Structure 1
Amino acid sequence: MSQPRRTPRRRAWTALTLPALLCVLAACSGGPAGVASASKDRPSASPTLAGPPGTLFDDFHYSGPDDPALDANGWEVRTGGGGPGIKDTWSAAGASFPSDTTAQGGRALQLQSSTDGTKQGTRQVEIQTTGTPLFTGTYAARVHLSDKPSSGRNGDHVVETFFPISASDSSENYSELDFEYLPNGGWGSPGPQLDTVSWFKADPPDRVNSALKKQRLEGWHIMMITFVDGKATYSLDGKDLFTSTGKYVPREKMDMHFSNWFIDLPFTGGARTWDMKVNWFYHKAGEAVSQADVLKTVEGFYGAGTHHINTVPKS
């Protein structure tokens, strides 16, 4: 059952340069009332981005992991060392933003991990927010899970995951909330299995969890975590799965991560590739938002052509 992320963390947020700021404006090509959009008439110096307060939204409308707008909008594709899974195999090459007819808006973030059963032939992938710590409120994403590899032999112990986490595993107030889908199981448990895990401490591990077992989840799903009033509640497609309370709720602000990685390498011989996709991510600070209202808000952003908005305080 699960393991702490062990991510070597992490570069600090830096002030936006003018080119990066223009990328932010380009990403916000329109919006509902109160949402700023790029305009030829907008002055280039010290522009103000307005929008619904305490809101972070992104529909991953980028050209690739080296798109300047990705960095400007507060995302980073991991390339460092460490775990979890097969240590030191993180690569930006697995992140892309292809057109997808099944995705809302026709585009999604694709996280593609691959292996031939050796460490040298393994590539894991993860993307995270930077510079906008998140705490109480609603975390929601439309995520496509895979039950089998897109190419190659099945059988890998892959983890497709969505989780907010502290900036440091060694923090005294370490916080982490996990959705982890294991189509082939792992850690001695057969799959398929969707774990929901709330952490108090990474080392030694101190956590509580629940598991949705024997349900194959291939396809698109709305994954949500609401953390308000001392309770962290996980839901899938509008159905509550697990609630943690007491010491098993976040105690400090966190970064948002999406990751696709391997627990171990159960067999060698033949390359195989696993895909996970993220259509959009939405966070509303300080409020428990229903799935219906999340979807209504997201639909409004898509209808207005708004690709990114961030009005969450940076501290």
Structure 2
Amino acid sequence: MSQPRRTSRRRAWTVLTLPALLCVLAACSGGPASGRGDDGAAPSASPTPSGPPGTLFDDFHYSGPDDPSFTAHGWQVRTDGGGPGIKDTWATAGAGFPSDTTAQGGRVLQLRSSTDGTKQGTKQVEVQSTGTGLFTGTFAARVHLSDKPTSGRNGDHVVETFFPISPSDASANYSELDYEYLPNGGWGSVGPQLDTVSWYKADPPDRVSHTLKQRLEGWHFMMITAVNGKVTYSLDGKDLFTSSGKYVPREKMDVHFSNWFVDLPFAGGQRTWDMKVNWFYYKAGEAVSQADVQKTVDGFYSAGTNYVNTVPN
């Protein structure tokens, strides 16, 4: 398992789009939202079956990392030094928002890391929220994992991750909940493997974990529920691991998506690794089923709603 992320963060504004405001008004009146989709047709279902308060949703419809809406919606691309992986190689170059016919809504956040086996030729990528204040509740994302590089020779110890984490690894109430996919293994292990890890302390490491030894190329529904003193990780509707006791969130967290290298096992040729994120959803304080998460997400897409944030500060 990796060591905790060490990053710098800045606070961002919370923005509520017009469709999201319509959702709020609809919830207050008890009726469906009246926003329309891109084709002008009325949505077939309410975009928020369980009500919009305490909801964060983003389907990453941005033109690039320099899109003002990307920052306004509380996201940034990591550019500082530090670990994990190859230090001082974090760059914005790997973050993009291309069209993708396999994605719901046809657009993704793409995280592309690359290396030629040298530190100078390595670029890692991480996209993180800032100041979102996500605590207990349901975290969900549709994520595409890669078993082999998009180009170049296979064999890198790459880590494709989705995780909520405390703003500071020095916090007295440090909290971190990890999905980490290692198609080729790392730290002496042989992949493929998906590690789910709940942290109590970053340094020295204090954590509990579970490893699923399975090849996972393709799209997956990743979900974490953290309620009533228990954290449950599920993949495509199947529970993988549960932690409790001290291994639960103790403070508000930001959410991160990251694609990085454990080490540089060999040189000789450029290769690139892609991880993709279709959408991210969070519901504060509630355990939401996968079916209800997908129903809510479908409603947002139907209404043409790309972003909602009604999570209390």
TM-score, length-normalised on structure 2? 0.90
* Amino acid corresponding to residue 306 of structure 2 in structure 1: H
Distance in 2 (CA, whole Å) between partners of 1:237 and 1:203 is 32
2:17–2:307 Cα contact (<8 Å) kept: no
The runs of at least 4 aligned residues of structure 1 exceeding 2 Å deviation read 24-38
Please give the per-residue CA displacement for 1:175-212, whole angstroms capped at 9, x wherever unaligned.
00000000000010000000000001110011000000
Distance in 2 (CA, whole Å) between partners of 1:29 and 1:75 is 21
Q: Which runs of 5+ in 1 are unaligned?
A: 39-49
Deviation at 1:27, TM superposition (A): 8.7
Deviation at 1:31, TM superposition (A): 5.6
Q: Which runs of 5+ in 2 are unaligned?
A: 28-32, 37-47
Which residues of 2 match residues 15-164 of structure 1 at below 5 A?
A: 25=17, 33-34=26-27, 52-164=52-164
Q: Could you tell me which residue of structure 2 aligns to residue 278 of structure 1?
A: 277
Please give the per-residue CA displacement for 1:130-184, whole angstroms capped at 9, x wherever unaligned.
1211000000000000000000000000000000000001111100000000000
Q: Could you tell me which residue of structure 1 aligns to residue 42 of structure 2?
A: none
2:198–2:207 Cα contact (<8 Å) kept: yes
Distance in 2 (CA, whole Å) between partners of 1:36 and 1:310 is 18
Q: Could you tell me which residue of structure 2 aligns to residue 251 of structure 1?
A: 250
SS in 1 for 2:101: coil
Deviation at 1:8, TM superposition (A): 2.6
Which residues of 2 match residues 180-219 of structure 1 at below 5 A?
A: 180-213=180-213, 215-219=214-218
Change (3 A) 1:303 1:195: same
Change (3 A) 1:202 1:64: same
Deviation at 1:117, TM superposition (A): 0.5
Distance in 2 (CA, whole Å) between partners of 1:185 and 1:148 is 12
Of residues 80-89 and 136-145 in structure 1, the stretch that sits farther from structure 2 once superposed is 80-89
Distance in 2 (CA, whole Å) between partners of 1:100 and 1:31 is 27
Change (3 A) 1:300 1:139: same
Please give the per-residue CA displacement for 1:274-297, whole angstroms capped at 9, x wherever unaligned.
000000000000000000000000
Deviation at 1:4, TM superposition (A): 1.5
1:29–1:37 Cα contact (<8 Å) kept: no
Distance in 2 (CA, whole Å) between partners of 1:142 and 1:8 is 24
2:161–2:178 Cα contact (<8 Å) kept: yes
2:114–2:272 Cα contact (<8 Å) kept: yes
SS in 2 for 1:300: helix
* Amino acid corresponding to residue 187 of structure 2 in structure 1: W
Distance in 2 (CA, whole Å) between partners of 1:63 and 1:199 is 35
1:31–1:304 Cα contact (<8 Å) kept: no
Deviation at 1:79, TM superposition (A): 1.1
Q: Could you tell me which residue of structure 2 aligns to residue 312 of structure 1?
A: 311
Deviation at 1:9, TM superposition (A): 2.5
1:31–1:301 Cα contact (<8 Å) kept: no
* Amino acid corresponding to residue 259 of structure 1 in structure 2: S
1:29–1:306 Cα contact (<8 Å) kept: no
Distance in 2 (CA, whole Å) between partners of 1:104 and 1:30 is 22
- Percent of paired sites with the same residue: 78
Aligned-residue CA RMSD (Å): 2.0
